[in-house]
């Protein structure tokens, strides 16, 4: 790097970081579309099959938080070469799996190695590019956070419908080999600091692993286990609390904590951290909610649902080239507020669903959601980079990215809980207003009876009552999805005042080095 312009090697490193982060975020969701097929081939029940996703998420979020420590110990280039190789090998292990144990082991390996690629991509941008060019790198990295989860269901659904689920994993082989080449050329060799191992913050490392790992598992499995009615969930909660207490203790007793939590006392970064939780919850939550609605109401298959979900990525792709210019002329606080506002409005547009609404009616809100993602996620990335100087880039990147993934787990936990609770509530409410014994209910069932009778009134009546019950449940399901969109919209609107705690970016939009 010379002057205020990065050389070719630096840009190769940024490209490598971007590709690695995209691979990691893509593999969170690419498997979900093919999960029923995978479960069948590896002999897993529905509840067992959820661990194929949970294993990845738990391992990923733990490694995201630990990545900074490994970089300091091994050096950035060595660490990324190791985890990229590990990611490719773990992907191959998943692709050839013929039993659940092998698949879960492979997914843990994918999560650990993929999780390392996410924060290190942001670290490369912060350390290899000069301030004037960092917005370009931030745009590239920020796009992966949106496009990975958006493209995953599309690619996974297409492969599941037209080829084989195995290719969802084998796809990582050629990309991983190309990534190894880019890393070798683009990143300079660095001498690792093995003294970090002798001085390791053991309390912090163990506490972070237990705290984040158990909390993520708790959020993923909570609804299936009926939350705190389950001994397993109670145990996970207790271990998670102990883990976070160990992490806090490590801040005081370790010479160099595994991750510096004191950065959260910076008002600007703390607000960015909380908003990253909210945006992560909305991103992963809505990307789950929309395909669920399309599958259960209009009856779309995974590939069709994936295409509708993908629409929200189109505005991000189109606007991404404008980000370096926008960050120099739009106050970061205004941009994030706009993003959260657009995101919230898109949710409110989906909060009045009817059984007749299908994919075409969701296109407009999805496009608006994409604009919201662009302004909120990319400008939050820039703000996170700006809130910490180069000396705190690793801690800031790890905390920011862990917050987004943890927010996603919270969002999915809220959805899985409320889908059951609100559906029951709406069934009861509809049942109170339109019962079998009410005049309207009796008239409707009578019409259904005539339609299904075929000369046998009793059989027609039974079929009519069954259809009536099914339609009540269907309507209750639609109302439940509306409630969830409304809730996400309100949470997004409620987080907008947090932008007042953020610091403006330095003049020209460059992160600068020292206003942590």
pLDDT digits (tens, 9 = 90+) for 228-244: 888 999 999 999 999 99
Residues 421 and 439 in one domain: no
CB-facing half-sphere around the CA of 81: CA atoms within 13 A: 15
- What pLDDT score was predicted for residue 514? 34
- CATH code where residue 164 lies: 1.20.1250.20
- Determine what percent of the chain is predicted with pLDDT higher than 90: 19
pLDDT value at position 123? 79
Q: Which has more confidence, 131 or 75?
A: 75
CA distance 51 to 266: 37
Residue 515 forms part of a structural domain: no
Is there a contact between 20 and 86 (Cβ–Cβ < 8 Å)?
A: no
Q: What is the pLDDT of residue 447?
A: 66
Taking the complete model, does pTM exceed 0.75, yes or no?
Answer: yes
My answer on whether 184 and 252 are in the same domain is no
Number of domains composing the chain: 4
Indicate whether 212 pLDDT > 60: yes
What are the tokens at 305? 């649902």
Tell me the torsion sign for CA atoms 351, 354, 358, 364.
negative
Least confident of 40-49, 311-320, 343-352, 497-506: 40-49
Do the domain assignments include residue 516? no
Q: Which of the pair, 31 or 280, is modelled with greater confidence?
A: 280
Tell me what percent of the residues of the chain surpass a pLDDT of 70: 86
Domain extent for 437: 433-476
Q: Which residue has the higher pLDDT, 438 or 179?
A: 179
Structure confidence by residue, pLDDT tens digits, 476-486: 888 889 999 99
**Same structural domain for residues 153 and 212?**
no
Confidence of residue 87 (pLDDT cuts 50, 70, 90): very high
* Cα distance between residue 104 and residue 55, in whole Å: 6
pLDDT reading at 193 higher than 80? no
Q: Which residue has the tokens 């029923």?
A: 36
Q: What is the predicted pLDDT for the residue at 448? A: 62
User: Does the structure show a pLDDT above 50 at 303?
Assistant: yes
Residues 290/362, Cβ–Cβ less than 8 Å = yes
CB neighbour list of residue 212: distance below 8 Å, 6 or more residues apart: 58, 61, 62, 65, 243, 402, 406
What gap in Å lies between CA 56 and CA 195, rounded to an integer?
30
Q: Compute the distance between CA of residue 357 and CA of residue 419 in angstroms, rounded to an integer.
A: 19
At residue 460 the predicted structure's pLDDT band, cuts being 50, 70 and 90, is low
Contact 39, 50 (CB under 8 A): no
Task: Check whether residue 99 and residue 113 sit in a common domain.
Answer: yes
In a domain, 269, yes or no: yes
Q: Which residue has the higher pLDDT, 347 or 477?
A: 347
- In this structure, the answer to whether residues 505 and 414 fall within a common structural domain is yes
Residues 40 and 100 in one domain: yes
């Amino acid at each position: 790097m010379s002057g205020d312009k990065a050389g070719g090697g630096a840009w190769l490193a940024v490209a490598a970081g971007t590709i690695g982060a995209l691979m990691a975020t893509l593999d969170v969701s690419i498997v979900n579309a093919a999960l029923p097929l995978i479960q069948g081939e590896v002999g897993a029940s529905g509840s067992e099959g959820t661990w194929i996703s949970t294993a990845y998420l738990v391992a990923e979020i733990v490694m995201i938080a630990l990545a900074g420590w490994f970089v300091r110990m091994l050096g950035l280039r060595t660490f990324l070469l190791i985890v990229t190789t590990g990611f490719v090998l773990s992907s191959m292990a998943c692709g050839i799996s013929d039993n659940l144990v092998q698949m879960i082991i492979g997914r843990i390996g994918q999560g650990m190695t993929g999780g390392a690629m996410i924060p290190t991509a942001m670290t490369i941008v912060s350390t290899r590019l000069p301030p004037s060019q960092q917005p370009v790198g931030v745009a590239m990295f920020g796009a992966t956070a949106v496009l990975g989860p958006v493209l995953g269901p599309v690619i996974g659904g297409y492969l599941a419908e037209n080829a084989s689920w195995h290719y969802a994993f084998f796809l990582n082989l050629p990309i991983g080999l190309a990534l190894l080449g880019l890393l070798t050329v683009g990143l300079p060799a660095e001498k690792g600091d093995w003294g970090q191992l002798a001085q390791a913050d053991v309390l912090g490392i163990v506490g972070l692993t237990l705290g984040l790992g158990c909390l993520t598992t708790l959020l993923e499995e909570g609804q299936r286990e009926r939350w705190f009615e389950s001994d397993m969930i109670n145990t996970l909660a207790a271990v998670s609390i102990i883990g976070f207490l160990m992490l806090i203790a490590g801040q005081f007793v370790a010479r160099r904590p595994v991750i510096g939590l004191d950065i959260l006392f910076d008002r600007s970064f703390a607000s960015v951290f909380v908003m990253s939780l909210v945006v992560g919850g909305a991103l992963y939550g809505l990307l789950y909610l929309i395909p669920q609605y399309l599958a259960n109401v209009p009856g779309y298959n995974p590939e069709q649902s994936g295409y509708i979900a993908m629409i929200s990525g189109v505005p991000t792709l189109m606007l991404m080239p404008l980000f370096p210019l926008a960050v120099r002329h739009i106050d970061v606080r205004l941009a994030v507020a706009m993003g959260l506002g657009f995101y919230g409005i898109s949710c409110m547009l989906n909060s009045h669903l009817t059984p007749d609404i299908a994919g075409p009616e969701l296109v407009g809100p999805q496009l608006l959601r994409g604009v919201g993602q662009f302004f909120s996620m990319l400008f939050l990335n820039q703000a996170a980079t700006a809130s910490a100087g180069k000396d705190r880039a690793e801690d800031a990147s790890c905390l920011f990215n862990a917050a987004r993934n943890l927010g996603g787990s919270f969002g999915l936990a809220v959805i899985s809980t409320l889908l059951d609770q609100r559906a029951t509530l709406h069934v009861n409410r509809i049942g109170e207003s339109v019962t079998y014994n009410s005049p309207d209910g009796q008239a409707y069932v009578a019409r259904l009876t005539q339609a299904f009778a075929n000369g046998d009134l009793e059989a027609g009546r039974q079929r009519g009552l069954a259809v009536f019950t099914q339609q009540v449940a269907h309507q209750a399901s639609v109302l439940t999805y509306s409630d969830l969109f409304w809730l996400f919209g309100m949470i997004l609107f409620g987080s907008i005042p947090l932008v007042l705690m953020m610091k403006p970016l330095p003049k020209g939009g460059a992160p600068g080095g020292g206003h942590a």
